[in-house]
Structure 1
Amino acid sequence: MKILLDTNILIQRENNTVVPDNIAQLIKIMGELNYKTCIHPLSISEIRKDGNVSRREVNLSKLSSYPTLDGYPNYFEDTEFVALLPEPTTTNDIIDNQLLYCVYQNLVSHLITEDQALLHKADILGLSTVYSVNEALEIFSSDLPKSDINLTSTFKIEHPYNVDINDPIFETLKKSYPEFVNTWWKKVVESDRAIYLFKDSYNSRINAILIPKIEEEDIDCTPKIPRDKFIKICLFKVSEQARGLKLGEHLLTLAIEYAKRNNVNKLYLTHFREENDYLLYLIESYGFVLRGINIRGEEIYTKEIVAPSNIHEISNDPVEINTKYYPSFCDGAIINKFIVPIRPVYHEMLFPNYKHEEEGHGTQMELFTLSDRIKSHGYGIKKAYLSHSFVGSMKPGDLVLFYRSEDYMAITSVGVVEQVHTKITDPELIKKLTAKRTVYSSQDIEKLCEQETHVILFRWCTHLNKEFRYADLLREGIITGQIQRIQTLSDGNYRKIIRGNIDERFTIH
């Protein structure tokens, strides 16, 4: 396995001498796994242009122990690849594209970077083996027999007066908002707003934080936004040390759940655009739209979670609609539906926030407590399911209803299909397709590939309010026997399952 390292993971502008702990751990793991690492020669050339001689020499010395890639193709000569990307405007854009092209052409198996724009481009290209440091650390460490790498977070709903305002996560906020501590945070404490926190299980630093608030007043924005009831996301931030652990998707899920529980259909947030902007790429991929700027120069982004009544005049693409109005999804008669059986061990890994009826429907805290036994990918919205059974008519936009076999023997959860890949026996291909979504270990995948394996990439949308059990399926004539393979579900039978079990504000017929 050959891994291309973006030099930004080894060079920290704030610290010219020390490599961060997670990067040091990653390098150690790659060495233990005998993975070959390299650096692109264009990255070295760019560093040599640095006019700061001292910094340049320090950076070059950091990179001197890594071999450079021996030859590489020029992406400009591939017109199909060029057409997939926006026109480059800087030298850095060209270098980024060259790095991605090395993955695209399988010159290297993986690219590791902390550049959010580069990670976003990789998503556009469908290059699922372009990782952030924490993503690579989690995925590669799972290939070791034992690992003491701690990537887990502890979730807690906290009172603001119990939050350490000196935690490193607040440093950039204090710089951007001079009044953050003495004015803004003081109001948060006085109003005793609920603070949603993910804390590092090892050092108790805040890994991610969310503060939502119900607002029904004019939004400071040019052009003007019509007055309405919104959930204002007052604070939404993931620390740099926790990037790639799906905590941003966690916060987004929490904010949407907060809106649903308070019968609010719109959310908004304000944001100063930053270089290498993690938040921007995340929120845009889940339907937030730039509406304008406020008097402070912050950008205003809004999101609707209920589609307009004339949505089919706007779009007929169920995947596009689900993306823009997530968690809403299309479930009209023209949408195929499938029952997908899943064993308990994989159900737990794929839906770790699911609460079984006999355990009681828990609080939001229970719904989002993280487990160190579950990969962070399990807590994401985008997921992957692997199976030896398949129905040929399945396509993007279809619905998959997951049936937990053996113990619950019930349908629990609903997702929207994004991609389908069939009849695969190459485990490396499956790892590439599912890299940022998979809860399966390398050993699981290799075992599955002893037979033809089918990959379903989907977005989780909702859990049923009440489990639809095996006995219910039999009684309603939906099935005639055990569910052992993926099977089609008629629209009429689908309606029987969701009746009273899904908030139909979020379904589009």
Structure 2
Amino acid sequence: MNGIIEPKKFYQINLNDPFFETLKEDYPEFEQWFKKKGDEIAQVFYNESDTLEAFLYMKTEIGPINDVQPILDGGLWLKVGTMKVNPHGTRLGERFIKKILDYAIVKDTLNIYVTVFEKHQKLVETFKKYGFKVSGKKISSAGEELVLTKNLKNTVNNTLQDYPLVISRNKAKHLLAIKPKYHTKLFPDSILKNESFDIISDVSHTNSIHKVYLSSMPGLASVKKGDLLVIYRTKTENTSAWYTSVATSICVIEEVRSPREFSSLELYMKYCKSYSVFNDSELLEYWYKKGRVYIIKMTYNIAFRKRLTRKKLVEEVGLNEKDYWGCISLSDQEFEKILTLGDVYESLVID
């Protein structure tokens, strides 16, 4: 199944794929280790030629972790056993880090660690960007590696360092409507059951933790950095909004900009293209559009386990059906109710 990160058992994965050559070079015992895994599960991503582009293996361990210096404390740890992503210009590495963090949340594991050779500087920097810290080293027959750790309880009030945690205290909340054709590409983990996997392709905005959305809706005038967004997918064509418009996920705003802030069209296009779903002609349309245009850059933090239909948002959350649901403010009580009905993992939201 091309275009998505999918689970596969080790025995189903071709160890002779050229993708594994560098891992075999870095770790002399890699082939032996790989063959022993057999029925265990790895997360993989294949390109259009059906060869590997990314590989991730995780497992839980009970501490103390004694083969690193200094020893990691007791308790439950998620170990990122192996992670490799071929660098090719998309944000696939970010998406795999999101998978790691999501897995830790599902497994109720507060502590995560990964060992990485210092020479893989780009990978190290990507981990650091999302709150992993160098906590020591591991020395083995393969050489010396950095030990990077992240705790999913400690927060520093920084959107990226705290990711995927959402701090809701003293933050404004809004519901933001997004059309179906953009929603699935922006939020691949929030795909609806009646949508096709085929439209999730390996492009930057799909794989990224960061998203950029452009709109001229008046309600966006009040949104600002740090605000929380409940993403609302508008109705499927030729259906009733009452049942097919749904709240699906939560994002945190990184910044709000306007096309007018960019000194050139080139800079504007560069900023928007990596993280947005709009094509060049759509971006140009916004560039030349008269009136206010809002460029919302946000992090994709939480996919609801249960989607909330418009019916449920009106009848159980208490939103006003007569309002224009483009971008509307939510009270703390409405937001909390949405979290509960969306069956969000409690550990993801800190009040």
Identify the residue that residue 414 of structure 1 maps to in structure 2: 250
Identify the residue that residue 394 of structure 1 maps to in structure 2: 223
> Please, which of 63, 75, 93 is the counterpart of residue 228 of structure 1?
75
For the pair 1:215 / 2:58, whether they are aligned, the reply is no
SS in 1 for 2:54: strand
Identify the residue that residue 327 of structure 1 maps to in structure 2: 164
User: Is contact 1:155-1:370 (8 Å) kept?
Assistant: no
> Please, which of 278, 282, 285 is the counterpart of residue 129 of structure 2?
285
- Cα deviation for residue 155 of structure 1 reads 4.0
Task: Give the Cα separation in 2 of the matches to 1:373 and 1:180.
Answer: 30
Normalized per residue, the structure richer in strand is 2
User: Is contact 2:190-2:304 (8 Å) kept?
Assistant: no
User: Is contact 2:175-2:230 (8 Å) kept?
Assistant: yes
> Please, which of 443, 461, 466 is the counterpart of residue 306 of structure 2?
466
Q: 1:198 to 1:161 in 2, by over 3 A?
A: same
User: Is contact 1:249-1:381 (8 Å) kept?
Assistant: yes
Task: Give the Cα separation in 2 of the matches to 1:282 and 1:503.
Answer: 25
Identity, % of aligned positions: 27
Q: 1:411 to 1:212 in 2, by over 3 A?
A: same
Deviations 1:231-283 (A, max 9, x none): 1111100124xx322221222222222222222122111111116x2211211
Gaps of at least 5 residues in structure 1 are: 1-151, 361-365
User: Is contact 2:233-2:248 (8 Å) kept?
Assistant: yes
SS in 2 for 1:287: coil
1:302-317 matches, within 5 Å, as 302-305=149-152, 307-308=153-154, 311=155, 315=156, 317=157
Q: 1:223 to 1:341 in 2, by over 3 A?
A: same
SS in 1 for 2:72: coil
User: Is contact 1:221-1:294 (8 Å) kept?
Assistant: yes
> Please, which of 338, 346, 349 is the counterpart of residue 504 of structure 1?
346
Task: Give the Cα separation in 2 of the matches to 1:336 and 1:179.
Answer: 52
Task: Give the Cα separation in 2 of the matches to 1:196 and 1:463.
Answer: 19
- Cα deviation for residue 463 of structure 1 reads 1.6
- Cα deviation for residue 154 of structure 1 reads 5.4
Q: 1:300 to 1:373 in 2, by over 3 A?
A: closer
SS in 2 for 1:302: strand
Task: Give the Cα separation in 2 of the matches to 1:156 and 1:410.
Answer: 25
Between structure 1 and structure 2, the one with the greater Rg is 1
For the pair 1:168 / 2:4, whether they are aligned, the reply is no
Which range moved further: 379-388 or 478-487? 478-487
Amino acid at match of 1:225: L
User: Is contact 2:176-2:231 (8 Å) kept?
Assistant: yes
Identify the residue that residue 283 of structure 2 maps to in structure 1: 445
Task: Give the Cα separation in 2 of the matches to 1:432 and 1:207.
Answer: 25
1:30-109 matches, within 5 Å, as none
User: Is contact 1:303-1:325 (8 Å) kept?
Assistant: no
SS in 1 for 2:75: coil
Amino acid at match of 1:236: M
Identify the residue that residue 329 of structure 2 maps to in structure 1: 488
Runs of 4+ aligned residues of structure 1 deviating over 6 Å after TM superposition are: none
Task: Give the Cα separation in 1 of the matches to 2:184 and 2:78.
Answer: 31
- Cα deviation for residue 428 of structure 1 reads 4.3
Q: TM (normalized to structure 1)?
A: 0.61
> Please, which of 46, 70, 79 is the counterpart of residue 199 of structure 1?
46
Q: 1:155 to 1:417 in 2, by over 3 A?
A: closer
Q: 1:425 to 1:480 in 2, by over 3 A?
A: farther
Task: Give the Cα separation in 1 of the matches to 2:224 and 2:174.
Answer: 11
Task: Give the Cα separation in 2 of the matches to 1:355 and 1:345.
Answer: 11
For the pair 1:378 / 2:206, whether they are aligned, the reply is yes
- Cα deviation for residue 384 of structure 1 reads 0.5
Task: Give the Cα separation in 1 of the matches to 2:174 and 2:234.
Answer: 15
Which structure has more relative contact order (CA 8 Å, sep 6+)? It is: 2
Amino acid at match of 2:165: S
Q: 1:428 to 1:463 in 2, by over 3 A?
A: same
SS in 1 for 2:98: helix
Deviations 1:145-195 (A, max 9, x none): xxxxxxx6454322212222222222222222222223x223323xx2102
- Cα deviation for residue 423 of structure 1 reads 6.2
Q: 1:288 to 1:261 in 2, by over 3 A?
A: same
Q: CA RMSD for the aligned pairs?
A: 2.4
Deviations 1:472-508 (A, max 9, x none): 3333432241434322111122122112421121111
Identify the residue that residue 94 of structure 1 maps to in structure 2: none
Identify the residue that residue 339 of structure 1 maps to in structure 2: 175
Task: Give the Cα separation in 2 of the matches to 1:416 and 1:504.
Answer: 17
The count of residues paired between Structure 1 and Structure 2 equals 332
Task: Give the Cα separation in 2 of the matches to 1:273 and 1:370.
Answer: 37
Identify the residue that residue 434 of structure 1 maps to in structure 2: 272
